[in-house]
Amino acid sequence: MAEAALDAVRRELREFPAAVRELNVPLAVPYLDQPPTPLHFYRDWVCPNRPCIIRHALQHWPALQKWSLPYLRAAAGSTEVSVAVTPDGYADAVRGDRFVMPAERRLPLSCVLDVLEGRAQHPGVLYVQKQCSNLPTELPQLLSDLEPHVPWASEALGKMPDAVNFWLGEAAAVTSLHKDHYENLYCVVSGEKHFLLHPPSDRPFIPYGNKQVAVLTNCRPPEGPHTFLPLDSEMYTPATYQLTEEGSFKMVDEEAMEKVPWIPLDPLAPDLARYPSYSQARALRCTVRAGEMLYLPALWFHHVRQSHGCIAVNFWYDMEYDLKYSYFQLLDSLTKASGLA
């Protein structure tokens, strides 16, 4: 009896992503040829939690004409910035049974530019990507090259951005699949960014932090057709890379921190033997080019790559913890409770 009901629950959860796609997720990220009005932005994109790429939204930013690696050197070369350094380009990603955060170095921006321009070498992969409003705090001299917020978005959302972040890194620097509690307006100023996106409704197919299942199934082994995930579920011991004086990396556990849920899967090369459900998820891919702005809705899973030396700025607006949020939390907890992913 319980098995039949649990099967029915899982069937509903597995059919949900396709139902959402049919009604609400386009086959490709649509383009807007100009910024929407605040009402249209809220009604057509934010409320239905749909991404879009907006053209001609940055053309009045001086940055769009001015920003290049030589310009950044001239304007801010001697300024120290926080740089994430990793052996393989992956900051905040799962490696084995660890969730590994990057080594963080303070370097003059000119050092990063030297590496990007091939004039110097540095161990590992560099990425200026500190996500705590590093543009106004670390590079205030660049602020006059752009607007401090996105006026039509601020009006639509009824708030100012929580953070304005500056991004500059090597081609090898990758952001692993994750989601944020922010409405994200991601503006590419030079080069291009490659996004791989999953709507929140794909949650049943994405392995992510199944702590509860681990607890639930702690006392009994997996069995029968209702096999639960094994105990090494998607909770990881946090660790940080440290860069030694010889230029090699070592992974140091953050012993004071609790285990962290993270997505262990690389969507570019998914381990489908281990995570077979992921084959039912459907990624949207898009490239955001210089002068374009991606509206990346809150809670969308995203994986990001970039062209070498790509320069970008993004605005994070705190999301509304509204009905959609509660529903996502339900989807998340039911995915775990039913042992799906």
Assigned token pair, 253: 């556990």
Interior/surface letters 305-341, b for 16+ CB within 10 angstroms, e for the rest: bbbebbbbbbbbbebeeeebeeebeebbebbbbbbbb
Residue 312's SS3 state is strand
Task: Return the structure tokens found at 93.
Answer: 């990603």
- Residue among 223, 246, 255, 258 that touches a second copy (CB under 8 A): 223
Q: Does 5 bind a second copy (CB under 8 A)?
A: yes
132 binds a second copy (CB under 8 A): no
Stretch that binds a second copy, among 37-45, 72-80, 84-92, 166-174 (CB under 8 A): 37-45
Q: Rounded to the nearest 10 degrees, what angle do helices 2-24 and 323-337 cross at?
A: 140
Among 49, 134, 176, 210, which residue sits at the site for a second copy (rule: CB under 8 A)? 49
Binding window for a second copy (CB under 8 A); candidates: 42-50, 115-123, 137-145, 288-296: 42-50
**Quick check: 43 binds a second copy (CB under 8 A)?**
yes
Taking CB under 8 A as the criterion, the residue among 110, 129, 176, 338 binding a second copy is: 338
Tell how strand 301-306 and strand 311-318 pair up. unpaired
Coil, strand or helix at 225: coil
Rg value, the chain, Cα: 21
Residue 299 exposure: Cα atoms within 13 Å on the Cβ side: 22
User: By CB under 8 A, is residue 324 in contact with a second copy?
Assistant: yes
Q: Which of 245, 255, 258, 322 binds a second copy (CB under 8 A)?
A: 322
Question: Between 61 and 325, whose beta carbon lies closer to a second copy?
Answer: 325
Question: Residues interacting with a second copy, by CB under 8 A?
Answer: 1-6, 8-9, 11-13, 16, 19-20, 23-24, 38-39, 42-43, 46-49, 155-158, 201, 212, 216-217, 220, 223-224, 226, 228, 320-327, 329-331, 333-334, 337-339
